[in-house]
Amino acid sequence: TGAITSLQRQIEIKESELRRIRSESEMVQRQLRAREVQLQAASDKFCSLTEEQKQEEMMVENRSLQQVVKEQESQLAEQNKLISELQETISQLRAEVVTTRLHLLEQKKAQKEIQSQAEALQHKELQSRVALERISSEFERYRSKIIQATFSVEGSQDPPAELTDDEVLEAMQKIINERMEFQQRLKNKGSK
């Protein structure tokens, strides 16, 4: 936005400069027309002089006017060159403004997309946390039931306050082994 404002300010300055130069150019053209009028007046004046005087005065006046005309034409050519340079600069600055605006629009679009993706990720993260809490809660309930079932067997000791997963597995394995041994003994005795 700052770049656009700066470019627009430059365009205004260049356009102001262009107006000033055009005004000066018009003034030079007016001066040229005035010189032409002077030239015509001098020409009329010469008509009333003798032929020799006419030629002499005409040559002096001519040289003077030609010098002025050359200078003004040169000045006009410089101003025309400056006008075309300024117009080119203004066109370039306008193109830069358009490019900068397009770039800003693209950045805003990309920013919106990134924001949308971030919101989607936050939503997914929230869903994942909720699912993780539910799974953790189910796991704790299941673990608690396993511990309860494992240590509620007759003859087993009460568990210590905190049990590790390995201790729970060890206790379950012990019960499974004892049952298998018991079934084996029963088979050996012939009972079902």
pLDDT tens digits for 103-140? 999 999 999 999 999 999 999 999 999 999 999 999 88
The pLDDT, as a whole number, for residue 160 is: 65
How far from 78 is each of 20, 25, 169, CA to CA, in Å? 14, 10, 99
Whether residue 2 lies inside any domain: the answer is no
Does some domain include residue 167? yes
> For 34-45, how does the pLDDT look when each residue is reduced to its tens digit (9 = 90+)?
888 888 887 777
Q: Count of domains in the chain?
A: 1
Alpha carbon of residue 62 to chain centroid: 64
Residue 40 lies in a domain: no
Q: 97 near 12, Cβ under 8 Å? A: no
The burial of 19, by beta-carbon neighbours within 10 Å (0-12 exposed, 13-18 middle, 19 or more buried), is given as exposed
Q: Is the alpha carbon torsion for 72, 73, 76, 81 positive or negative?
A: negative
pLDDT at 191: 57
Which pLDDT belongs to residue 172? 81
Judge whether 164 lies within some domain.
Answer: yes
Which residues span the domain enclosing 153? 124-190
Specify if 8 maps to a domain: no
Rounded to two decimals, the pTM is: 0.44
